[in-house]
Structure 1
Amino acid sequence: MTTTPAPVPVRSHAELLELVSRLDLATKVRLLTGATSFTLHGEESIGLAPMAFSDGPTGVRGLKFTGGDHVALFPSATVLASAWSEETAHEVGEMLAEEAERQQIHVVLGPTINLHRTPLGGRLFEAYSEDPLLTGRLAAAYVRGMQGRGIGACLKHLVANESETLRNYMNSVVSETALREVYLLPFEIAVQDAGAWSIMAAYNDVNGVPATEQDHVNNGVVKGEWGWDGLLMSDWFATKTSAPAALGGLDLVMPGPDGPWGEALVADVESGAVAESVVDEHVVRLLRLAERVGALGSEDQRRTWPAESLAPDAPARREQLRRLATDGMVVLRNEGGVLPLAGTGRVALIGRHGVDTICMGGGSATVNPPYQVSIADGLREALGDRLTVVDGVEVRERAVAAEPSAITDPETGEPGLRVAYLDADGVVMSSEHSSVSSVVTGWDDVLPRPTEQVVLTARLTQPGPVRLGVVGGGRWTVDLDGEQVGATELVAEGSDPGESMLKPPVWTVDTHSTATDGRGALVTATLTVVRSEPQPGPDGKLSTLSHVIASGMGMKGLVVSPVPAPAEQVLAAASTTAADADVAVVVVGLTEEQETEATDKSTLALPGEQDAMVSAVAAAAKRTVVVVNASTPVLMPWFDEVDAVLVVGLPGQEGGHAVADALLGVREPAGRLVTSWPSADGAAPAWDVVPDGLTLEYRDGTFIGYRGFAAGRAAAPAHWLGAGDGYGAWTYGSARLVEGDAGAPAVEVTVANTSDHDSREVVQVYLRPDEDDQPVRLVGFAPVRVPAGGEGTVTVATDSRLWRRWDEAADAWGAPLSAGTLLVARGLGDVRAELPLAPSR
């Protein structure tokens, strides 16, 4: 496979400005709003080609929000971050760049580098960590990997965007100290250390000013103090104004073709409200991005896309994704060395997440993978007839669109369904096969006229009891073999357009299907799109979002699933199966209901009767291993009842194979937690995600996560950031201070692996300042691989940016920290050495 990356940019600011001077005002403004949902306008008069963007936290989805081409599904960002490895992050950046090249995508919208401030955040799975240094260093490595191949990365979401509830309207109130020392720090690291080419401004307000209008952050800090020369784009539909956003540092409004700029921004320039030089500077930044990704210049100056590329299901890609997933899995308990299971006799796999493993979260991180391997499939391939698999208790509160394998297109017989789009006159504008059971209307349509009706038809693959229904706002009728089984009108709950896409309303009915002439029953679900007059949002404003919500845009789909068995029956079967096996592996977790964009959690408890299932199995089994299929903290009241706990997160399309590798010791699950796991609901330094009115105060200040736990601002967590055992056993020998870079000390540490397994350790160094108002903080980390029975020495550099402190009175960085103690640790729950610092470094 060969590719020609984008050429190294050579045009100076003055040369780019000269190109801009050739354009009239209307053309310049036109370039500053997207052409479509995920593309930008070109302008051949100056050699500017159209550019394509794609969502990208867990795969490069392409230009379609749902459906579209098959693309590789990566482990979630939280899983990848759990490797605590810049090499891993760099490799992921390169792999995503390859996926982008295959689809001719110029900019991938990632990484997400907001912090895990509260464990209730619904979108945490696609961000790295609660710690700003770990997040920033991994983000910088990811950016270097991606941009090294000429594909632009986009840091998101600037800034203080740590929860989803009322995200389009809420106001994050953050002290300047916390903003500088914590929430801006990952962006600063990725800008300074990797030169990220673009950043995305968030939906929320920050201290009363929309993120898209933040002169202080956007112009003052990022473009001013940091000297950043990249492009600042809006989150999709986030821009609320014309002149304030243009003056506040925003360069590009997304999506297109409509938005608050256009004629309004032209009028603002003509009236003098916005200087034309401001527009010119925005276009210069757009052209600089275009040059960097190979979309500016003559035809022979632009990048050449690869003629061949690695398919998302190619053996090499499968191997990479399998390895990356296992490397991010975390062993939290392993009593008696029950793991790895190599040589174990009969294994019982129990739980819905075992047979229907959740491999990705919801929202813009969702992709259309070529396949997803369940844990049952992975273990069955490895263990053969030594494995017994039983389903578990119900894990969902709401029905979801059908698995493609449950339905077939009545015209082609392929897995999936038939979708017809009709206009206002009932004319079929398009009839097409969909390999997925849900579609989006009003978003990335390429139809000649607006859609007024959508007809979904499919044949059921199995006769018998079935839960049948529909997903999405609008007026529905549902027929089964010509007989109507239901009619309903569904309305999205909230005022976020994302909810109509990511948390659409659902209606279901339990019925019975039969097979006729060897064919499954025919389901027809007809949707009439409902549009309304725009209404003011919770902030009282009639914004672009109000028009989007009123347009009827959203996800529409067909529900087909088995009717759930009673919980008592399921628990009894689980206990019986567990008792007959040598070891029981119980898989529990969350789904995209909890781990998704546009909605937050209300509890860390596992949904349904999963806790009862674990306890029932543990009481019956000889040995019990629990696999947690969730990328964010969950409560584990049964923790002391089981022998082992393995956290596998959302492991991507190779998930089942990767879990099998981890359980059987084919590859070590050497991950470490990237977020502290609270011991109970509410027991965290920051908890609430629901704004008071529309205001959410960041009262924890700089004491985010483990920092607040260490300061006694909440009960000690069940598991600290950095915790994880792998299959090694570690003793720490000498630890001493050595000379570091940029005036920050380093620590040289010797570790010994006393286990029978080759293993990987992550040595962590924390600074505990003497000052009571200063939190303990991670200042450095370094991995080291050590063979069984061997020793290794590693030098952990500390980052000088973590020794700074912001002086609010002076509105500047003050004298750096000097007095305190460096803690050498495996997370703050397992400190191995303390190194006092002299009062002055």
Structure 2
Amino acid sequence: MTTAPVSEHAALLETLDLPAKVALLTGATSFTLAAEPAIGLGEVRLSDGPTGVRGLKFSGGRVVALFPNATLLASSWDENALEETGRLLAEEALAQQIHVVLGPTINLHRTPLGGRLFEAYSEDPLLTGRLAAAYVRGMQALGVGATLKHLVANESETDRNTVDSVVDEATLRELYLLPFEIAVADADAWSMMAAYNDVNGLAATEQTHVNNEIVKGEWGYRGLIMSDWFATRSAGPAANGGLDLVMPGPRGPWGDALVAAVRAGEVDEAVIDDHLSRLLLLAERVGALGTPRDYPAGLPAPDSATRKEQLTRLAARGMTVLSNDNAVLPLEPAQTVALIGRHAVETIDMGGGSAQVNPPYQVTVAEGLSTRLGDRITVVDGVEVRTRPVPARGGFLVDPVTGEPGIRVTLLDADGNELEQRHAAGATTMVGMDDDFTGTVATAVLHGRITRPGRVELGVLGVGDWWIRVGDTESRPQLRVSGKGFGEEVLTPPLHTQLYDVGAGELLEATVTLLNGDQFAGAGLFGLIGHQASRETVDVIDDAVRAAAAADVAVVVVGLTEEQETEAVDKSTLQLPGAQDALIEAVAGAARRTVVVVNAATPVIMPWLSRVDAVLWAGLPGQEGGHAVAAALLGDIEPAGRLVTSFPAADGTSPAWSVTPVDGKLEYAEGRFIGYRGHFAGRAPAAPAFWLGHGLGYSTWEYADARLISGDAPAVTVTVTNTGARDSREVVQVYFQPAGPDEPVRLVGWQGVDVPAGGSIRVTIAPDARMWRRWDTAAGAWGQVGPGGELLIARGLGDIRATVALP
């Protein structure tokens, strides 16, 4: 157990008594840590940050830039791009005087059903770790702390607060801890976040083995380990188990209970000193201890031309060409295009849950391509893609006071006194968790003016007793949580909708009486729902077929939504929701050429793959999504991405599949053979449709003269030639195939190179020495894999270009 406080802060610790020390180890609010003027400690401000620095409010906060999601950024296989991302996020944080960003998420893509995979980089630990380290370096170079999360074995969301992830020691160390180890060793990340789940029978927040023995002991980690929000279950066991900080505050399981545990001898006060020393070190690093830091002026605004260029480029470069028959991509600017699909007109730019932010705008694919193609494009809406209605968007409802897109919210106390009136741009607002006023909300009144007449679906979301009126029609639904998941009030609040016939300018009025006996004591997310009523699927597909037949090329944009890619919920299938497969089939049968754009962060099944000409995987591309997709389709920016996770050919065909615990336990039975490792070893029912590392870009390549370079560590060199007509980027990948069948193949290195058309370059790759380690469970120590085996030089394991034997 690590108990020795950081020496440079010992004098500060001596000035505080035990209750004062313990008080600093629980957050002051949802996203701040308490100040202590007696020792020169200022307030430390934290923010969620996987795809943008949201700020101190969970919902309805300031406008911030929305970045491409993690899998899309990672698909660049470019550490420079991730370091740039870290710097840009740090700028977004500094503009708000945020000290610590809660990211990156570096859990692995164990099974493609994981609902939160869109926040995480890949299925490979080396790729994840090195990209995360680059992100951390970029962020912390500007004095903003990064947070590695979630420690550890937190690869799915089902029963996430109670599930026990059962992982053998070799798998834990070689796969799931390795990205954390790399980001500590290579970038010295200043904080980590302990997960909700148990690991091998013990809560992640009480993991002496992981937190104390491995992270703080073997790795010599001097940073801080905080809890995930509401994850801490105990006082003494969590404090002794290596947890340094409980979040959020001001309430929590420590406080008086932890003081009592110390006085009873359950926890040594030296443990408290160690926790506080780590907190003070973090505060010092981010400029909240001692002389307050200066914050730069003139940083790019979220809607600035600078951010537009950066976010468009980062998104487009990570997009991946999965197929491209007869070089149908890039599109010719003179072609006429039928752009089809709900995701074309309502592009999904971010996942659900704590990754959501309030961006200045979100450019749809329809807007992006229309800007470039003008009257050469016809836009047709697609089939319905949701089962759960979403808050009003796109100006369907406007604030009756200001006329801005969104709604008006008035918050009242139990006596009917107004506490606050606010505009909610996203038609939702958080109540009771990050309010800036004194008093307790008892009632919320929501108003939105309807801008589009006709048959519409209107409703409300949020826990409470509602009164709703549209014209002369009233309803009084009572909405309650299902009890099936933690944080439903915030992440998936219950909702009620019904159909109406309305005229333009009518008012949707709703009043909700909050409940006080629920999990969050009346707190939660509340909002208004509004959109045009859905059309019959057959009519939608008929319109699409007619448009496709009349154009030179049909571009069908399909994908997932935040129903599937979200915190707190896992997927049950990789099939596209709704009738999107049928839409693609129909269009492909009518169009001269068909291009499919997949607007999703994680794998989907493609039964129509052989009947379309090209597939572009676009991820969740952020606020410039439509412009980025247009740039990629037209070749303004090469979509040079490579997949970061293997795409299964069908449901159930990955080496690891189920996310459902059995008797509370989720067995990582596949061990070290996840993703491409298991596929390559034949430990899956079928080969993947696309391997990790696959991506065509807009050129073709030849590999020649591959050689082994002898020395202390094996390295390889190979000549790559761009045999196409366009300048392009290649990602040369090196995999190690050990001689023994019990050792999985693994990525050991890669190098991205930009090569002009017709040009050649000699590439040398020195594999990462950490990938030759194997954990010897019997000895309780690291050993080495080998001797023998092969190095595979490849464009993904589905396209191996050269093999070099090892001695």
TM-score normalized with structure 1 length: 0.94
For 1:384, the equivalent position in structure 2 comes to 374
Instruction: State the alpha-carbon separation in 2 of the partners of residues 630 and 494 from structure 1.
Output: 28
The one of 152, 158, 165 equivalent to 2:151 is: 158
Q: Aligned ranges for residues 174-185 of structure 1 at < 5 Å?
A: 174-185=167-178
Partner of 1:620: 590
| Greater CA drift, 210-219 or 794-803 | 794-803
Alignment partner, residue 722 of structure 2: 753
- 1:290 deviates by 0.6
Other-structure match for 2:81: 88
Give the 5 Å matches for 1:631-710: 631-710=601-680
Give the share of equivalent positions with the same residue, in percent: 62
Residue of 487, 494, 504 corresponding to 1:505: 494
In the alignment, the residues of structure 2 paired with residue 575 and residue 412 of structure 1 have an alpha-carbon distance, to the nearest angstrom, of: 41
> Secondary structure at 2:762's aligned position in 1?
strand
Structure 2 unmatched ranges of 5 or more: none
Contact 1:477/1:484 (8 A) holds in 2: no
Query: Residue by residue, what CA displacement relative to the aligned partner does 1:618-641 show, whole Å, maximum 9, x if unpaired?
Result: 000000000000010000000000
After superposition, give the CA deviation of every residue in 1:193-212 in whole Å (9 maximum; x if it has no partner): 00000000000000000000
Which of 95-104 and 454-463 deviates more?
Answer: 454-463
Matches within 5 A, 1:676-825: 676-714=646-684, 715-739=686-710, 743-825=712-794
Q: Distance in 1 between matches of 2:394 and 2:206?
A: 43
Task: Classify the secondary structure of the residue corresponding to 2:306.
Answer: helix
The alpha-carbon deviation at position 344 of structure 1 amounts to: 4.0
Give 2:422's aligned residue: 432
Are the equivalent residues in 1 in contact too, given 2:489–2:520 (CA < 8 A)?
A: no
Distance (Å, rounded) in 1 between the aligned partners of 2:216 and 2:595: 51
CA contact (8 A) 2:351 2:566 kept: yes
**Counterpart in 2 of 1:302?**
292
What is the correspondence of 1:412-561 to structure 2 with a 5 Å cutoff?
412-481=402-471, 483-515=472-504, 520-532=505-517, 549=519, 551-561=521-531
Matched, 1:113 2:86: no
1:816 offset after TM fit, Å? 3.6
CA distance in 1 between counterparts of 2:642 and 2:654 reads 19
Give the distance between the partners of 1:492 and 1:257, measured in 2 at CA. 24
CA distance in 1, matches of 2:692, 2:428: 38
Quick check: 2:161–2:486 contact (8 Å CA) kept in 1?
Answer: no
> Aligned equivalents of 1:717 and 1:459: distance in 2?
49
| Offset, 1:803 | 0.4
How many residue pairs get matched?
Answer: 803
Work out the CA distance in 2 between the residues paired with 1:37 and 1:322. Answer: 32
TM-score (normalised: structure 2)? 0.98
CA deviation after TM superposition for structure 1 residue 302, in Å: 2.7
Q: Which whole-Å CA distance do the structure 2 matches of 1:98 and 1:296 have between them?
A: 20
Secondary structure of 2:147's counterpart equals strand
Contact 2:703/2:718 (<8 A) preserved: yes
Structure 1 residue 430: Cα displacement: 1.3
1:601-616 paired onto structure 2 within 5 Å: 601-616=571-586
CA contact (8 A) 2:705 2:719 kept: yes
Q: 1:498 to 1:738 in 2, by over 3 A?
A: farther
Which among 528, 548, 555 is matched to residue 585 of structure 1? 555
* Structure 2 residue corresponding to 1:348, chosen from 338, 341, 353: 338
Determine the structure 1 residue equivalent to 2:534.
564
Within 5 A, what are the aligned runs for 1:87-486?
Answer: 87-297=80-290, 301-403=291-393, 405-481=395-471, 483-486=472-475
Letter in 1 for 2:626: G
Gaps of 5+ in 1: 1-11, 534-548
Kept in 2: contact 1:404–1:435 (CA 8 A): no
Q: Write the distance in 2 (CA, Å) between the matches of 1:747 and 1:344.
A: 44
- C-alpha separation in 1, matches of 2:463 and 2:787: 58
Shift of 1:496: 3.2
RMSD over equivalenced CA pairs, Å: 1.2
User: Structure 1: how far apart are the matches of 2:401 and 2:555?
Assistant: 41
Q: Could you tell me which amino acid in structure 2 is paired with residue 161 of structure 1?
A: N
SS of the residue corresponding to residue 257 of structure 1 reads coil
Distance of 1:195 and 1:302 partners within structure 2: 23
> Who is 1:9 aligned against?
none
CA distance in 1, matches of 2:463, 2:111: 31
Give the distance between the partners of 1:587 and 1:415, measured in 2 at CA.
25
Structure 1 runs (4+) deviating above 6 angstroms are none
CA distance in 2, matches of 1:498, 1:91: 33
One-letter code of the match for 1:377? E
Helix, strand or coil: the match of 1:224?
helix
Q: Distance in 2 between matches of 1:793 and 1:506?
A: 59
Encode CA deviations 1:682-709: one digit per residue, 9 max, x unaligned. Answer: 0110001111121100011000110001
The structural deviation recorded for 1:308 is: 2.4
Matching residue within 1, 6, 17 for 1:13: 6
Deviation at 1:225, TM superposition (A): 0.1
Deviation sequence 1:46-69 (CA, Å, 0-9, x none): 111110000001000000101111
Q: What does the per-residue CA deviation read over 1:758-805, in whole Å, with 9 as the maximum and x for residues that have no partner? A: 100000000001111100000001101111111111111101111000
Distance (whole Å) between structure 2 residues aligned to residue 493 and residue 347 of structure 1: 45
Q: Quick check: 1:635–1:680 contact (8 Å CA) kept in 2?
A: yes
Q: Higher mean Cα deviation, 642-651 or 419-428?
A: 419-428
1:480, 1:797 → 2: CA distance?
67
Q: Which secondary structure does the structure 2 equivalent of 1:96 belong to?
A: helix
The code of the aligned residue for 1:794 comes to V
- 3-state secondary structure, aligned to 1:783: strand
Q: CA deviation at 1:495?
A: 4.3
Structure-2 separation of matches of 1:185 and 1:14: 29
Q: SS of 1:497's equivalent? A: coil
Q: Distance in 1 between matches of 2:11 and 2:710?
A: 48
Q: How far is 1:353 from its partner?
A: 0.2
CA contact (8 A) 1:805 1:817 kept: no
Contact 1:344/1:583 (8 A) holds in 2: no
Query: Which of 795, 801, 806 pairs up with 1:832?
Result: 801
Question: Which secondary structure does the structure 2 equivalent of 1:814 belong to?
Answer: strand
Matched, 1:25 2:42: no
Task: Determine whether 1:599 maps to 2:589.
Answer: no
Q: Partner of 1:53: helix, strand, or coil?
A: strand
Work out whether residues 333 and 373 of structure 2, in 8 Å CA contact, stay in contact via their aligned partners in 1.
Answer: no
1:650-679 residue CA offsets vs partner (Å, 9 max, x unmatched): 000000001000000111000000000001
Q: Deviations over 1:325-371 (max 9, x none)?
A: 00000000100000000244210000000011001111111000000
Q: Aligned residue for 1:4?
A: none
